[in-house]
Structure 1
């Protein structure tokens, strides 16, 4: 461990870095301050470090620095601190921290990384405060610290009835020397972690008290809606704002970066002001519509890639010569919008030498850096506060809407809240890339899988996964990927690089199992055994943990048991963001031959489960999202313009269509891994494989609804 800072006269110690990187601790001795209990009583409150505040009543305030997008980190991250602090959860309050790079690291919501990247630092923050409280009590009693222990917010002496509540110790504890090494609890001693804890914002959400970025109101603030190019690749030529300025409530119209902003005293006026603008945009006659993309994709894949393969084990060219059987399948992935319930919005108040930003963003540090470059104000002069988000799914990793707010505020010299309409968001956001995947497999005379080739092309260079299953289990294994140039903006979409590749890989594995006459579960377990006994190249998964979730979900679903007439099952598994997820989708064939999703079984190994309630919610939400988008999701473009601009044109899964979901977590003492995204990738494949089991039809293009086989 490398020390990056020292204690100074103010009592501030920077961070300690483990060899693997990341902040382990960030203490900020800010001294005592007042805190009201709400009953007219003022309690002295002390900041123990960047995460922990304790007042003289024993009430503990825990800071949650990571953005909350519905994944539950505002509850689960403080739970980690509370566990090590050994405090009763009923005496805990949670506060959302703003961006602070001095106190915190990786204030990001993305890649299912909040828990796995903060596990050590948050544990140590709680444990350090606990040890300081013990040392303070021991000093007061004149005993050794080793003779003391903590429980539910109090320090006890083992050999007597002596007890101090944390609130009695705050002043003496904060004066203690900060210990460098503190003991951390073992999983077997956890009192809080693994329990079902309600989301700390539940009450505010269901009663309408929860404020989101779109609710932001400040004195003198103007609401802003923006007209952007209606088609990808277009630019602004000219505009006339005469009619727009006649709309009641509209106060100003400005243009910037081929966009036109309408400022008003309410959102409705701003929206109507945009509609009243008369605008001339450049044409986009050369833009191919998405109906042409598939033709271009297929044509490109007829020629061998001139790019270096992402993985190339053995020699697939030789392996495919003179084999007994070659299996081939092509898959089609459509563009997908993010469709967050809360459209993009952000508040900005840019002054001459400072700025305040406030709203829903998944990447606050990177966003502040980009805004600083854009408006010419140093980062340290920009304050960025975080609101709870009405969904993100990767869209709020991008900072374009924040940059818009900052630029409009700077040009108009007033505080603004820029708000996108649903049509703005669906028609001109960042889509999941459209792509085309081609798979080929070679079987020898004994029906053994001896070669695997993945070749893909799409509107992104990240369509493949080279080290995931079944890589390592096949002697000849090659992965190629190509980029198709397009003006369409694409970006991360929930479970990026995994959300569609899991469907293609797991569907193809099922197809190979069918051709070889093997049970899909047995075939997967055989491949995992091969990867364990005779690994070919590097893999990024643990074969035993992978096999365990497959076995568990099969047991849950009664995979090898006789099913009632009309009931069929499909299996899929995937490793992503450090977690292993296996799912079985159960279908019922109705009297008219249509299929209905009856139930989904799911087994998960994500290491230690922090919050059982939140964990289940994340997995269930991922499954629903995965099923819904596999069934219905698609954005098509005509000459660069989206054909679907709102939910009357873009189909989402409905509540009545959500099946029963049963989730089981594998007991583990491994460090916790990602969970916001891993439940999604296997869902589409498990559904497609169930369809094949039911009616012998292999679904290879999403959305599945086009097949007209579902109720």
Structure 2
């Protein structure tokens, strides 16, 4: 399948251009159709009157192209890959491209979100259209200058050539191009002609990152800025009674201590003093609501699974009948703990609240929504909020929630000074928004050597914020299929965690399919391929994955990993999953070292459509696989009387360098539009490792983290 190479759009609704007073040409385009009236671009264009545009390209009269990247950069590479798409269709040399972070203003921008691995997917068509339109306008301007037909001219790497061999650089015609009519129809490149897309392009910020130049929120400083360290209730369910700040104020550098709600902010001239002052506070807390424990959560969730109060998310056929008529029924329960996000850069944000405006600077995945919340809290007009984005040192969903921005704004409003709230690692882990604890129970029926019924039950903490996806595989592949959910509302804050909904569900389902294959005496890869045949050609619009694309991905992974061709001492485990519009299959290889299973290699096959930047794509995939393995193997988090059991890495285990496997990545080659990559490689990783551990040790794992349960009897594992 090929992408459409000709796109038609309304110039009135999509693109406008103008000459800049300083020289050059500015292009404004409707990015993601996410626009508002009276958009102010991130450059001085006083002579330009744009409406309804929120992304900008500047072509200078020396031919240098500046592309303003409007989305937050969280490490997923959009600040590099999005401009690559524009530059490809614009046909400019990448060395002549400068990328700048666009500012955010809630008056002008919306949907500037880093989350869900959707940026490239949603931006693909708009970005290509913009680059191709700009190129055509430049070609038209050159043709007019030469007095020839534009169809006789071509452009390459910022140079336009006519049939006689005459040449003009983009910079030579930008003034004329800015005055040209915007063409309604533009021809896009055939993927075989790509020069930039598909090439390994270094991250545009890499030089600044490795040399330590200011990029991140923690780097940001401003004149007169104070630092705040915030003391929050030590347990969920507690509130502040009173406090003594005498010792805190005696710490050198501490200027004041303020209370806001059930929190206390220690203000100082540096982070060390602020954090030291916070530790010196003497505080009285009291219980305000139930102090929850992990043991209570385990019982509550198990009772929900055993009960009859569920919300049915999908039901096909007659599951009850399939179980009644089955030759064999298999039922298993899978359990996972809460998890913190543990971004490398702890939460932080700068705020300066004055009578004129509210100036906010820092790392946030949802800048527009957060700015609106700040405006509501301060009872200000949203037009008063000016928010600038910095690069983020990780997010994984944690920076979708602007609680730390709200704190900074509230503290600045109280002390009437610019302030940056900085979390310590303990703050980051203890005041978190966590991946919720969750349990799945899966039941399947086998009749005449076929899987005839499938019933998935979910019991989760705060599942109204979490939930599962009922239309992913094996939906549509099994005639009798049912998905039920049950929820417990907790006062522990939970939310999205990398690859929401699927980060644990994939492990449960992919482990279960291996168990079905064993019962059927089938190769586990072949079982999945057989089931996918039932999805091909489906007219069920609820089905979100492609049976054909998943089949191709599975076959590629099996081929590259030499599936089934056992090497001495190497044990393989397979897993395949669809999430965030991308199909991924993984083969994990495990060896036994000193009596313990060790993951040595993971082979990954990915169908994400056209790969814009292979270097960045592989980084995302390898990071996702290692992250998925690390949390499945080692990470555990719970609560005792409402308080987190871990607050730093001395007791909470992340994967270590010497525990990381080699990751080999292969892409399914096609010319389909790109899909997400920041998250899809994580969900299958746990299942692949669990299935490999079963092959190596004979033990099936039903609970995470695996390290806690390896060696435990199966009866204990499955209750």
Q: What corresponds to 2:332 in structure 1?
A: 329
Q: What corresponds to 1:38 in structure 2?
A: none
Q: CA deviation at 1:51?
A: 2.6
Work out which of the residue numbers 651, 659, 663 in structure 1 matches 2:665: 663
1:572 lines up with 2:575 in the alignment: yes
Which region of structure 1 is more displaced relative to structure 2, 97-106 or 192-201? 97-106
Structure 2: gaps (5+ residues): 1-8, 21-25, 47-52, 713-719
Give the 5 Å matches for 1:418-457: 418-444=421-447, 446-457=448-459
Q: What corresponds to 1:190 in structure 2?
A: 194
Work out which of the residue numbers 264, 282, 301 in structure 1 matches 2:286: 282
Which region of structure 1 is more displaced relative to structure 2, 534-543 or 696-705? 534-543
Q: Which whole-Å deviations, capped at 9, do the CAs of 1:432-470 have from their partners, x for residues lacking one?
A: 0101111111111x1211111111111122332200111
Work out which of the residue numbers 261, 264, 269 in structure 1 matches 2:265: 261
Q: What corresponds to 2:170 in structure 1?
A: 166
Whether the aligned pair in 1 keeps the contact of 2:19 and 2:175 (CA below 8 Å) is no
TM-score for the superposition, normalised by structure 1? 0.93
Q: What corresponds to 1:354 in structure 2?
A: 357
Q: CA deviation at 1:29?
A: 8.7
Q: Which whole-Å deviations, capped at 9, do the CAs of 1:11-37 have from their partners, x for residues lacking one?
A: 99986699xx65699998999889xxx
Give the 5 Å matches for 1:55-74: 55-74=60-79
Whether the aligned pair in 2 keeps the contact of 1:86 and 1:153 (CA below 8 Å) is yes
Which region of structure 1 is more displaced relative to structure 2, 48-57 or 318-327? 48-57
| Secondary structure at the counterpart of residue 692 of structure 2 | helix
Write the distance in 2 (CA, Å) between the matches of 1:6 and 1:683. 43
| Secondary structure at the counterpart of residue 531 of structure 1 | coil
Q: CA deviation at 1:193?
A: 0.1
Which region of structure 1 is more displaced relative to structure 2, 286-295 or 247-256? 286-295
Work out which of the residue numbers 370, 388, 396 in structure 2 matches 1:367: 370
Whether the aligned pair in 1 keeps the contact of 2:79 and 2:99 (CA below 8 Å) is yes
Whether the aligned pair in 2 keeps the contact of 1:549 and 1:582 (CA below 8 Å) is yes
Write the distance in 2 (CA, Å) between the matches of 1:22 and 1:173. 26
Write the distance in 1 (CA, Å) between the matches of 2:274 and 2:354. 23
Write the distance in 2 (CA, Å) between the matches of 1:552 and 1:680. 18
Q: What corresponds to 1:176 in structure 2?
A: 180
Work out which of the residue numbers 406, 409, 413 in structure 2 matches 1:406: 409
1:391 lines up with 2:394 in the alignment: yes
Whether the aligned pair in 1 keeps the contact of 2:19 and 2:179 (CA below 8 Å) is no
Whether the aligned pair in 2 keeps the contact of 1:632 and 1:703 (CA below 8 Å) is yes
Closer/same/farther in 2, CA of residues 17 and 247 from structure 1, 3 Å limit: closer
Whether the aligned pair in 2 keeps the contact of 1:59 and 1:92 (CA below 8 Å) is yes
Closer/same/farther in 2, CA of residues 567 and 30 from structure 1, 3 Å limit: closer
Closer/same/farther in 2, CA of residues 236 and 699 from structure 1, 3 Å limit: same
Whether the aligned pair in 1 keeps the contact of 2:511 and 2:687 (CA below 8 Å) is yes
Q: CA RMSD in A?
A: 2.5
Q: What corresponds to 1:76 in structure 2?
A: 81
Q: Which whole-Å deviations, capped at 9, do the CAs of 1:620-657 have from their partners, x for residues lacking one?
A: 00000000000011111101100110011110111111
Q: Report the number of matched residues.
A: 690
Q: What corresponds to 1:37 in structure 2?
A: none
Closer/same/farther in 2, CA of residues 31 and 652 from structure 1, 3 Å limit: closer
Give the 5 Å matches for 1:215-364: 215-283=219-287, 286-305=290-309, 307-364=310-367
Write the distance in 1 (CA, Å) between the matches of 2:170 and 2:537. 54
Q: What corresponds to 1:45 in structure 2?
A: none
Closer/same/farther in 2, CA of residues 514 and 24 from structure 1, 3 Å limit: farther
Write the distance in 2 (CA, Å) between the matches of 1:9 and 1:579. 39
Q: What corresponds to 2:534 in structure 1?
A: 530
Q: What corresponds to 1:138 in structure 2?
A: 143
Q: Which whole-Å deviations, capped at 9, do the CAs of 1:503-525 have from their partners, x for residues lacking one?
A: 11111111111111010011000
Structure 1: gaps (5+ residues): 35-47
| Secondary structure at the counterpart of residue 282 of structure 1 | strand
Q: CA deviation at 1:276?
A: 1.2
Q: What corresponds to 1:703 in structure 2?
A: 705
Q: What corresponds to 2:628 in structure 1?
A: 626
Write the distance in 2 (CA, Å) between the matches of 1:415 and 1:27. 27
Q: CA deviation at 1:372?
A: 0.8
Q: CA deviation at 1:313?
A: 0.8
| Secondary structure at the counterpart of residue 320 of structure 1 | helix
Whether the aligned pair in 1 keeps the contact of 2:28 and 2:57 (CA below 8 Å) is no
Closer/same/farther in 2, CA of residues 285 and 120 from structure 1, 3 Å limit: closer
Q: What corresponds to 1:474 in structure 2?
A: 478
| Secondary structure at the counterpart of residue 311 of structure 2 | coil
| Secondary structure at the counterpart of residue 291 of structure 1 | helix
Q: What corresponds to 2:508 in structure 1?
A: 504
Q: CA deviation at 1:428?
A: 1.3
Query: Runs of 4+ in structure 1 displaced over 4 angstroms?
Result: 1-18, 21-34, 100-105, 533-537
Which region of structure 1 is more displaced relative to structure 2, 400-409 or 163-172? 163-172
Q: What corresponds to 2:56 in structure 1?
A: 51
Write the distance in 2 (CA, Å) between the matches of 1:675 and 1:421. 30
Q: CA deviation at 1:68?
A: 0.7
Q: Which whole-Å deviations, capped at 9, do the CAs of 1:647-673 have from their partners, x for residues lacking one?
A: 111101111111111100111111100
Work out which of the residue numbers 90, 95, 107 in structure 1 matches 2:112: 107
Whether the aligned pair in 2 keeps the contact of 1:231 and 1:639 (CA below 8 Å) is yes
Whether the aligned pair in 2 keeps the contact of 1:473 and 1:534 (CA below 8 Å) is no
Q: CA deviation at 1:286?
A: 3.4
Q: Which whole-Å deviations, capped at 9, do the CAs of 1:255-285 have from their partners, x for residues lacking one?
A: 1121111111111111011111111111268
Q: What corresponds to 1:147 in structure 2?
A: 152
Q: What corresponds to 1:98 in structure 2?
A: 103
Q: What corresponds to 1:417 in structure 2?
A: 420
Write the distance in 2 (CA, Å) between the matches of 1:10 and 1:137. 16
Q: What corresponds to 1:608 in structure 2?
A: 610
Q: CA deviation at 1:49?
A: 8.8
Q: CA deviation at 1:148?
A: 1.1
Write the distance in 2 (CA, Å) between the matches of 1:294 and 1:147. 72
Write the distance in 1 (CA, Å) between the matches of 2:35 and 2:386. 21
Which region of structure 1 is more displaced relative to structure 2, 608-617 or 161-170? 161-170
Closer/same/farther in 2, CA of residues 331 and 681 from structure 1, 3 Å limit: same
| Secondary structure at the counterpart of residue 212 of structure 2 | coil
Q: Which whole-Å deviations, capped at 9, do the CAs of 1:376-430 have from their partners, x for residues lacking one?
A: 2212221111101110000000010001111111111111111011111101110
Whether the aligned pair in 1 keeps the contact of 2:226 and 2:418 (CA below 8 Å) is yes
Q: CA deviation at 1:72?
A: 0.8
Which region of structure 1 is more displaced relative to structure 2, 290-299 or 545-554? 290-299
Give the 5 Å matches for 1:681-700: 681-700=683-702
Closer/same/farther in 2, CA of residues 5 and 574 from structure 1, 3 Å limit: closer
Closer/same/farther in 2, CA of residues 697 and 372 from structure 1, 3 Å limit: same
Q: Which whole-Å deviations, capped at 9, do the CAs of 1:305-351 have from their partners, x for residues lacking one?
A: 2x430011112122211421110110111100000010000011111
Q: CA deviation at 1:560?
A: 2.8
Closer/same/farther in 2, CA of residues 572 and 26 from structure 1, 3 Å limit: farther
